[in-house]
């Protein structure tokens, strides 16, 4: 039986990271335990990393937002001498199944995106202080930071050596961030990505690969000075007191289903279908932001976001053959709207803001999940506001029309709120409704007129908010036919089709990164030049270079 990967951790369980907080500055030390790999068969030498290292980093970044909002600068640095980070562990990549490699690359980039936007979203600026070799995925960690400092000591360098060494690409955002974020000149980027030894010193600054080089003798003092300057910009949260991200309530059953406090994950492995049901709040919303703070991680909006996030990651890595995800909701839409309104009405409160930002990240995680996604709006559903975003994230949505015989639950309805018109943009920087109605932007304005109104199937269909509406005579047959069809298609074809269709509209650095991940990693990581018996990944460290099929295809 394959090892179940758990994405829940906390600082008492860290093996690879250490966090020191001094006032409004946090220092994040990467000190990877060589013997602490997630799987057997490799050692994490030279601060190289695997998924386990990145699960801890994701947890650190999340806790920095919620448990330490007073922090204005986070300095990422190495806990080892003479090396910053050697990147993703090559032995791990060479031995891992293809599915794990692709999911690993996607998760690591989602984690980097999270701290990349922390400065703009939460006034937490990430600084990378590089001493020693910073290569491959290590430089990708640096690229996601707001500011990169490099020791000018003759040995410290930055590099993206995947092409000459491994016959793959710096594809977890490296190439894209070099050109789109750092705006490195194309010819210089070509040189940089073609050499094993990387770039150091003044040239690294001249080529805009780093922001500053500092003499070794002044390095620590200058890093402290820069961190203090960036931290002073956090004027919103400097007196804020964080909350504790308490452990999630989860129960796993023998058939693989998972039950959380707000989320239920029901698996049908034989059919390859998983149903995720999100239950709306049972209790009234906190009366004030003070009460919101008192409830902390137990408030419904934050708890549901954390649980849905964990469920999506669990399915991605541990249930690879469940190709179709059905989203359902249940509960009182008015209570959900009240919980959401407290956050929307208090944008200056750090906890309200961070909870909404978390939902933005979770919904993006849904967008990027390589599964066929469908939503069923049934009687008693709670697709309102933030949860209604799921209707516009999925590939298709089906809505029950009118009363269903023998079902005494309320008639199916959808309720739009202000949350559907701005707070949760996709990776293309458009809302899901703007993306949905790319060719008819006036439809967004028509939908906005209906904010707060429970929309039954005929109204939702007229506004273009659903794919199909069926009455109780046709409902079960239509859903069954769709699911049978979807699970019969090639999963590879579905991954390519869905990834292309979900991100209409303008390209951004984020959509380019994830679009390239879908193509690059799925193709190059399967080529014999990289992973074949005589490929570069298999021969790495043996002193022999890979043998390449020279045909350009």
pLDDT tens sequence across 356-367: 999 999 999 999
Residue 548 lies in a domain: no
pLDDT at residue 518 tops 80: no
Name the H helices within 47-185. Answer: 51-67, 90-95, 98-116, 118-122, 137-143, 162-166, 174-176
Per residue in 280-315, pLDDT tens?
999 999 999 999 999 999 999 999 999 999 999 999
Is the same domain home to 37 and 141?
yes
Mean pLDDT calculated for residue range 69-76: 97
- 46-63 in b/e burial notation, b at 16+ Cβ within 10 A? bbbbbbbbbbbbbbbbbb
Mean pLDDT calculated for residue range 88-103: 90
Task: Tell me the whole-structure pTM to 2 decimals.
Answer: 0.95
Residue 133 lies in a domain: yes
What pLDDT shows up at residue 1? 46
Is the same domain home to 263 and 224?
no
Is the same domain home to 460 and 313?
yes
What pLDDT shows up at residue 6? 97
What pLDDT shows up at residue 408? 94
Between 383 and 525, the higher pLDDT residue:
383
Mean pLDDT calculated for residue range 511-518: 86
pLDDT at residue 270 tops 60: yes
pLDDT at residue 550 tops 90: no
pLDDT category of residue 46 using cuts at 50, 70 and 90: very high
CA 202/CA 73 separation, integer angstroms = 25
pLDDT at residue 440 tops 90: yes
**CA distances from residue 259 to 115, 368, 439, 509 in whole angstroms, order as listed:** 29, 23, 40, 36
pLDDT category of residue 427 using cuts at 50, 70 and 90: very high
pLDDT category of residue 240 using cuts at 50, 70 and 90: confident
Residue 469 lies in a domain: yes
Mean pLDDT calculated for residue range 181-201: 96
Is the same domain home to 177 and 307?
no
Q: What is the CATH number of the domain that holds 258?
A: 3.90.226.10
Is the same domain home to 304 and 201?
no
Is the same domain home to 174 and 218?
yes
Is the same domain home to 225 and 257?
no
| Strand boundaries in 222-369, DSSP class E | 251-252, 258-259, 263-268, 273-279, 324-330
Q: Are 134 and 192 in contact (CB under 8 A)?
A: no
Total number of domains constituting the chain: 2
pLDDT at residue 476 tops 90: yes
Is the same domain home to 221 and 269?
no
Per residue in 455-473, pLDDT tens?
999 999 999 999 999 999 9
Q: Which residues form the domain of 332?
A: 251-500
Is the same domain home to 171 and 271?
no
Q: Lowest-pLDDT range, 182-191, 388-397, 492-501?
A: 492-501
Is the same domain home to 257 and 227?
no
pLDDT at residue 353 tops 70: yes
Mean pLDDT calculated for residue range 421-450: 97
What pLDDT shows up at residue 538? 85
Mean pLDDT calculated for residue range 260-273: 97
Three-state secondary structure call for residue 342:
helix
385 in the Ramachandran plot: left (φ > 0), alpha (ψ -120 to 50) or beta?
Answer: left
Residue 237 lies in a domain: no
Residue 525 lies in a domain: no
463, 482, 500 - which closes a domain: 500
pLDDT category of residue 343 using cuts at 50, 70 and 90: very high
What pLDDT shows up at residue 376? 98
What pLDDT shows up at residue 542? 87
Residue 330 lies in a domain: yes
Residue 336 lies in a domain: yes
Is the same domain home to 183 and 256?
no
462, 478, 500 - which closes a domain: 500
Q: Lowest-pLDDT range, 174-188, 329-343, 487-501, 525-539?
A: 525-539
DSSP 418: G
pLDDT category of residue 540 using cuts at 50, 70 and 90: confident
Is the same domain home to 24 and 96?
yes
Give the mean pLDDT of the chain: 95
pLDDT category of residue 49 using cuts at 50, 70 and 90: very high
Mean pLDDT calculated for residue range 100-115: 94
The percent of residues in the chain predicted with pLDDT above 90, rounded, is 86
231, 259, 275 - which closes a domain: 231
pLDDT at residue 497 tops 50: yes
């Amino acid at each position: 039986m394959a090892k179940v990967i758990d994405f829940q951790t906390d600082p008492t369980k860290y093996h690879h990271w250490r966090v020191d907080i001094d006032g409004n500055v946090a220092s994040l030390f990467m000190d990877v335990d060589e013997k602490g790999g997630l799987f057997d068969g490799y050692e994490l030498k030279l601060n190289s990393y695997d998924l386990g290292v990145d699960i801890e980093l994701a947890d650190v970044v999340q806790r920095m937002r919620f448990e330490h909002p007073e922090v204005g600068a986070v300095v990422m640095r190495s806990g080892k001498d003479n090396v910053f980070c050697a990147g993703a562990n090559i032995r791990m990549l060479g031995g891992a199944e293809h599915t794990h490699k692709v999911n690993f690359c996607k998760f690591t980039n989602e984690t980097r995106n999270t701290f990349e936007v922390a400065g703009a979203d939460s006034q937490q600026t990430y600084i990378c202080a590089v001493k020693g070799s910073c290569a491959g995925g290590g430089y990708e960690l640096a690229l996601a930071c707001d500011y990169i400092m490099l020791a000018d000591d003759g040995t410290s360098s930055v590099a993206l050596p995947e092409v000459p060494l491994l016959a793959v690409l710096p594809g977890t955002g490296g190439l894209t961030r070099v050109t789109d974020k750092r705006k490195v000149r194309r010819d210089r980027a070509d040189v940089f990505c073609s050499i094993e030894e990387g770039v150091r010193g003044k040239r690294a600054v001249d080529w805009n690969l780093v922001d500053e080089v500092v003499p070794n003798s002044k390095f620590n003092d200058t890093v402290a000075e820069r961190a203090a300057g960036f931290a002073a910009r956090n004027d919103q949260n400097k007196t804020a007191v964080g909350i504790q991200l308490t452990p999630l309530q989860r129960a796993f059953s023998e058939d693989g289903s998972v039950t959380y406090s707000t989320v239920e994950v029901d698996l049908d492995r034989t059919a390859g279908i998983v149903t995720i049901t999100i239950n709306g709040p049972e209790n009234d919303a906190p009366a004030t932001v003070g009460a919101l703070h008192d409830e902390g991680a137990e408030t419904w909006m934050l708890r549901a976001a954390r649980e849905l996030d964990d469920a999506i990651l669990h399915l991605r890595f541990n249930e690879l053959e469940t190709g179709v995800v059905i989203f359902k909701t249940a509960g009182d839409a008015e209570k959900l709207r009240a919980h959401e309104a407290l956050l929307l009405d208090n944008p200056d409160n750090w906890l309200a803001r961070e909870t909404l930002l978390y939902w933005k990240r979770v919904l993006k995680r849904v967008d990027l999940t390589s599964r066929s996604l469908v939503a069923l709006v049934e009687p008693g559903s709670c697709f309102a506001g933030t949860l209604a975003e799921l209707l516009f994230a999925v590939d298709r949505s089906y809505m029950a029309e009118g009363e269903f015989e023998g079902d005494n639950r309320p008639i199916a309805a959808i309720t739009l709120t202000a949350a559907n018109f701005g707070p949760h943009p996709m990776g293309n920087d458009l809302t899901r409704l703007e993306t949905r109605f790319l060719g008819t932007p006036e439809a967004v304005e028509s939908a906005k007129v209906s904010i707060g109104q429970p929309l039954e199937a005929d109204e939702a269909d007229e506004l273009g908010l659903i794919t199909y509406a069926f009455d109780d005579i046709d409902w079960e047959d239509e859903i069954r036919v769709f699911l049978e069809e979807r699970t019969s298609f090639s999963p590879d074809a579905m991954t390519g089709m869905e990834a292309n269709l979900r991100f209409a509209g303008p390209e951004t650095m984020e959509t380019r990164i994830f679009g390239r991940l879908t193509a690059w990693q799925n193709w190059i990581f399967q080529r014999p030049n990289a992973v074949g018996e005589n490929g570069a990944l298999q021969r790495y460290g043996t002193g022999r270079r890979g043998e390449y099929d020279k045909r350009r295809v």
